[in-house]
C-alpha cells in the first residue's frame, strides 16, 4: 500500500513538472489553461493506465 502511495505521489509530481514546462514562456497552447485541471485530468488518466 505504501509503495503504491509513493508511486502515485511521484507520478503526480512528474505530471506537474510536465504541465509546468508546457505552460512556461512559450506555451504550446493559445488559450488560457487551468494548471490544476490539467494536472487532475492527467493524474486520472495515468491512474487508469497504471493502477
Domain boundaries, the chain: 2-50
Query: How does DSSP classify residue 23?
Result: T
Residue 37 and residue 45 in contact, taking contact as beta carbons nearer than 8 Å = no
Cα–Cα dist 29/22, whole Å: 8
Q: What is the pTM of this model?
A: 0.61
Specify the DSSP class assigned to residue 14. Answer: H
User: How far is 44 from 15, CA to CA, in rounded Å?
Assistant: 11
Q: How far is CA 11 from CA 14, 22, 30, 32, in A?
A: 5, 17, 26, 24
Compute CA 4 distance to the chain's CA centroid, rounded to the nearest angstrom. 17
Confidence of residue 20 (pLDDT cuts 50, 70, 90): confident
What average pLDDT does the segment 14-41 reach?
Answer: 78
Average pLDDT estimate for 30-37: 75
Amino acid at each position: 500500500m505504501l509503495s503504491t502511495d509513493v508511486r502515485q505521489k511521484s507520478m503526480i509530481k512528474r505530471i506537474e513538472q510536465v504541465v509546468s514546462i508546457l505552460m512556461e514562456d512559450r506555451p504550446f497552447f493559445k488559450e488560457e489553461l487551468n494548471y490544476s485541471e490539467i494536472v487532475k485530468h492527467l493524474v486520472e488518466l495515468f491512474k487508469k493506465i497504471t493502477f
